[in-house]
Each structure stands twice: as C-alpha cells, then as structure tokens.
Amino acid sequence: KTQVEQSPQSLVVRQGENCVLQCNYSVTPDNHLRWFKQDTGKGLVSLTVLVDQKDKTSNGRYSATLDKDAKHSTLHITATLLDDTATYICVVGDRGSALGRLHFGAGTQLIVIP
C-alpha cells in the first residue's frame, strides 16, 4: 500500500504564478520529511527537510510546511520560473538515523509555461 501520496499528479502554471504541492502520508513513525526536485533525466536534489511536529522552512522561492498531527506537508513555490519545471518528490523518513527507511511519493510533475 502506498504510504506517501502526492497531489496533484501534474500541474501546469504560467511563469510568475505561485503554486502549492501537497503531500499526505501514513508512515509511522515519521521522523522527518524531505522535498526533492528531480529535473528530467537527472537525479534528486534536496530542497528542504522538515523535522518538528509543526515545522516551516524557507529556501529562496521554496517554502514548506509540515504538520505531523495531520501527517501532511506542503511545498510552496513563489513566482515560478521556467527552470522550476521538474518533478517534485516528497520523502518521509521513519527514523533519524541512517538505519531508518525512506518512503517515497510518486511525485508531482510541475510544468511552467511562458
């Protein structure tokens, strides 16, 4: 059973618009949550990591929230650029140590058009 669900599956926005990506999960325990960006044909690049029960992070035009009570996270992208076109993947870690397993969502494909 899929333990990390991302929505929407795909999204098209115009350059300059804002967008919000959602991640719902059932992983237990939920030690931390990461958002990755995957450009087409490339590897995953970490954007941010959230750890606290109710956490917020900011990394330039990317900001993220985590609510462990609701098992829900959002990734906000402000003033999108054409280079933001990519797949964004939500990953939940069930432990803080390297022994923990990572649970991957299938990703949201974001397309930014001029």
Partner 1 sequence: EAAVTQSPRSKVAVTGGKVTLSCHQTNNHDYMYWYRQDTGHGLRLIHYSYVADSTEKGDIPDGYKASRPSQENFSLILELASLSQTAVYFCASKGLNTLYFGAGTRLSVL
User: Residue numbers of the site for partner 1 (CB under 8 A)?
Assistant: 2, 4, 34, 36, 41-46, 49, 89, 98-99, 101-107
Number of H helices, E strands in the chain: 0, 11
Cα separation of 71 and 28, whole Å? Answer: 9
Q: What minimum distance in Å lies between the beta carbon of 39 and partner 1?
A: 10
Least Å from the CB of residue 13 to partner 1: 21
> Is there a contact between 5 and 102 (Cβ–Cβ < 8 Å)?
no
Q: Which is nearer to partner 1, 14 or 101 (CB)?
A: 101
Extract the tokens encoding 112. Answer: 């930014």
CB closer to partner 1 out of 44 and 64: 44
